[in-house]
Chain A
Amino acid sequence: MIARVVIMPKRGVLDPQGKAICSSLHAMGYGEVDDVRMGKFLELRFGDGAGGEERAARVKAMCERLLANGVIEDFRFELVEDGAPAGGRTDTPR
């Protein structure tokens, strides 16, 4: 079982890294990008396959207590089976 945790700067919190990346994309000719915000992606691996409410509640507590800072960041997570493909598109061969 893996928890995939995404942490993003809250709306309204200055994200100078995202801004710098956005300007760089514009300079490269990707003017269609309106905005970039940069966050973090973490994978927490659990030895057992247990999912369910209790696991979710504990991952939520981990996010609130350590992984994200609620003053400046929002988080979301999903619990997936180990080896499950990540969503989205990639050119990296699996």
Chain B
Amino acid sequence: MKWGVVTFPGSNDDRDTAHVLRNVLGQETVPLWHKSADLEGVDCVVLPGGFSYGDYLRCGAIARFSPIMGAIARHAASGGLVLGICNGFQVLCEAGLLPGALVRNRDLRFVCRDVTLRVESISNPFTNLAFAGDVWRIPVKHGEGCYVADPATLDEMEREARILVRYCRPDGSRVRDDGAGRSDYNPNGSARDVAGVMNAGRNVFGLMPHPEHAADPAILGAEGARRSADGMRIFQSIAHWVDQRREQASAGSMR
């Protein structure tokens, strides 16, 4: 499959993401400039982390009017895959491709640390190689990662299994599960511990944690090191899903 990674002015994880897709996952990856309206036939567009347009006005608010966003909206409308990481998630919410919004962290701090995430749902293009209940360790680094949406939207996403990952304790538990303890595992005050959500069309996914920073074995360190490669599961799931679709399509055409 073919990946595209968008660069806005102020994006800073575009190269890390392209490196992981190209050299760790081993797949064709092209850079996409924000002023271009041509997605070059990619199967999945990745909106990377960073501070597009300096986070002016609101995070992602200016980037969503870049020429490439029109092409991405059309790509998404025709079923193409879109993954937004951190600032990319903020851009997708601002563009209305995902519900809700991301506001200033509850504790007013820029949070830069590993978090643990629980995989909530696996019947989708983005987490299909995980098991429901898997706990991943992936870093976050953001000042505006507190997800908000009205209760009806959150209920609907829960019913439709569109909250794909939530912040949790290292053992996978959450306050809501047992009603006990503090929610200090939630790094930003996100509603219902949401870390990442998918659209109703089930082809656009945004999350605050950075899978590309938990992927390259070269930076995982020696045996016993703390780093994790759990982020690879997301990229592998997408690749697996695209390959499966392609096989199904070619099997269908041979019939």
What are 8 A-B contacts defined by CB distance under 8 Å?
Answer: A9-B103, A14-B189, A16-B104, A66-B65, A67-B57, A69-B58, A71-B100, A71-B149
In the bound complex, residues from chain A placing their C-beta under 8 Å from that of B189 are: 14, 16
User: Cβ of A16 and Cβ of B107 under 8 Å apart?
Assistant: yes
**Is B148 interfacial (CB 8 A cutoff)?**
yes
Q: How many angstroms between the C-alpha atoms of A72 and B61 in the bound complex? A: 13
A13 within 8 A of B: yes
Interface string of B73-96 (1 = CB under 8 A from A): 000000000000000000001100
Contact count A vs B, C-beta below 8 Å: 37
Q: Given A66-B65, A69-B101, A71-B101, does the pair A14, B94 have CB atoms closer than 8 Å?
A: no
Expressed in whole angstroms, the Cα–Cα distance for A69 and B64 within the complex equals 12
Interface-central residue, B65, B103, B107, B189, by most chain A CB under 10 Å = B103
**Residue B113 lies at the interface, judged by CB distance under 8 Å to chain A:** no
B residues near A (Cβ < 8 Å) are 57-58, 61, 65, 93-94, 99-101, 103-108, 146, 148-150, 189
Q: Interface of A with B (CB < 8 Å)?
A: 9, 13-14, 16-17, 20, 66-67, 69, 71-72
In angstroms, Cα B150 to Cα A71, docked, is 8
The minimal Cβ–Cβ distance linking B148 to chain A, given in whole angstroms, is 6
Asked if A13 contacts B103 (CB within 8 A), the reply is yes
CB contacts (< 8 Å) of A9 on chain B: these are 103
Q: Known contacts A66-B65, A71-B100, A72-B101: does B57 contact A16 (CB below 8 Å)?
A: no
CB-defined contacts of B57 to chain A, threshold 8 Å? 66-67
